[in-house]
Amino acid sequence: MNLSTTYLGLKLKNPFMPGASPMPDSIGAARRLEDAGASAIVMHSLFEEQLANEESVLENEISKHLESTPEAASFLPIPTEFALEPDEYLKQITDLKQAVEIPIIASLNGITEGGWVKYAKEIENAGAHALELNFYQLSTDVNETGADVEKRAIEILKSIKQNLKIPVAVKLSPFFSSLPNFVRNLVASGADGIVLFNRFYQPDIDTEELDVLPTLQLSNSFELRLRLRWLAIISAAVPTNYACTGGAYTGHDGIKAIMTGATTVQFVSSLLKNGPEYLSTIIKDAEKWLEEHEYTSIDELRGSMSFKHCPDPLAYERGNYLRMLQGWKV
Ligand SMILES: Cc1cc2nc3c(=O)[nH]c(=O)nc-3n(C[C@H](O)[C@H](O)[C@H](O)COP(=O)(O)O)c2cc1C
């Protein structure tokens, strides 16, 4: 079965890889991911401003996960080992490149133009094969319009592209009012790929302590559906490379994402729960499905369930929505 795929100009042996997470903070885990068949490695983000308390929230949550799932201790670096400082992050790129043969995709998460460009350049100089930009931002300013938010992202992307030679993918949240239009503008402004979707880690409220409870909850398979819907719509309208992230757990999930137009599929929660080796099961299951359905390559499958052949996706979506609601029997 020919699973080979080109993503962001990188020739990959298959479309399945671990998404951005602390896993590759450990060289041992990175090697285990490569042995399990990962076609590339996405590092966790280097945050432009690494706020001390956000860092400790993440550390606490990971610690909790380590306690509840002892197996995770074998592949999740203990929080104090997180290479969160920029110098350590850059060194980790170099170390990973020496330790594994698959491409290394670094990740940046920031909000000001200056910071992004400076770090992006350093990441490139450290040898990353590609860069993922995570536009993780909540708009909390009533004076800021949706158009302002998109404009700023486009400006950041343009200045990074002007300064970088390596390919750049943009990781988005689903919370934009017209995603196809925004994605088209990002691609026109130089994005080499689009990663759908970022997850926001919504805090809960402690009603007794009147406090905010930051929680890091791993995803579930249901979350994949949001990605499938948007991939089907956007990939048909804007040709570029797409990575699906969020709710992909199995080989079957991977197949669905490719069907809707994903070039690659990223797995995080699934591997944090089951360990890096689980990626080999994912890849084998996807391969088995392709064989059973008489495909000879993954390329043959790509986009078969996108809206490419649907003249009016909006009417189709609304039609299905109405049929579903009206079909409900009480
Ligand atoms: C512990 C943990 C750390 C993560 N760190 C990052 C990060 O640094 N940068 C980023 O873009 N996404 C990060 N993510 C988000 C994942 O890359 C992914 O988009 C998200 O978990 C949805 O995929 P999943 O359903 O396969 O988990 C992180 C997720 C988890 C669970």
Q: How many angstroms is it from 201 CA to the middle of ligand 1?
A: 10
Distance CA 99, CA 102 (A): 9
Pocket test for ligand 1, best of 16, 21, 227 (most atoms within 8 A of CB): 21
Q: Strand pairing partners for 194?
A: 170, 242
Q: How many angstroms is it from 19 CA to the middle of ligand 1?
A: 6
Distance CA 269, CA 265 (A): 13
Q: How many angstroms is it from 22 CA to the middle of ligand 1?
A: 8
| Residue 18 belongs to domain with CATH number | 3.20.20.70
Give the number of domains in the chain. 1
pLDDT score at 252: 97
**Ligand 1 atom closest to 58 (CA):** 1
Q: How many angstroms is it from 171 CA to the middle of ligand 1?
A: 11
- Beta carbons within 8 Å of 6's beta carbon, 6+ residues apart: 12, 241, 263
- Dump pLDDT digits (tens) for 15-40: 999 999 999 999 999 999 999 999 99
* Residues near ligand 1 (Cβ within 6 A): 19-22, 44-45, 107, 109, 134, 171, 198-199, 216, 218-219, 223, 245-248, 267-270, 272
Q: How many angstroms is it from 324 CA to the middle of ligand 1?
A: 32
Nearest CA to ligand 1 atom 24: 246
204-206 vs 193-196, strand pairing mode = unpaired
Closest CA to 235 of 264, 260, 198: 260
Average pLDDT rounded to a whole number, residues 57-81: 52
211-213 vs 241-245, strand pairing mode = unpaired
Confidence of residue 227 (pLDDT cuts 50, 70, 90): very high
**Ligand 1 atom closest to 132 (CA):** 11
16-18 vs 264-267, strand pairing mode = parallel
Confidence of residue 136 (pLDDT cuts 50, 70, 90): confident
Mean pLDDT of all residues belonging to the chain: 88
Domain membership of residue 48 as a residue range: 5-326
* Dihedral, 67, 73, 78, 81 alpha carbons, nearest 10: 180
- Dump pLDDT digits (tens) for 284-322: 999 999 999 999 999 999 999 999 877 777 777 777 777
Q: How many angstroms is it from 296 CA to the middle of ligand 1?
A: 32
SS3 state at 108: strand
Confidence of residue 78 (pLDDT cuts 50, 70, 90): very low
**Ligand 1 atom closest to 47 (CA):** 8
Residue 123 or residue 58, greater confidence? 123
- Dump pLDDT digits (tens) for 142-189: 999 999 999 999 999 999 999 999 999 999 999 999 999 999 999 999
**Ligand 1 atom closest to 65 (CA):** 1
**Ligand 1 atom closest to 42 (CA):** 17
Q: How many angstroms is it from 21 CA to the middle of ligand 1?
A: 5
**Ligand 1 atom closest to 220 (CA):** 25
Confidence of residue 49 (pLDDT cuts 50, 70, 90): low
- Dump pLDDT digits (tens) for 230-283: 999 999 999 999 999 999 999 999 999 999 999 999 999 999 999 999 999 999
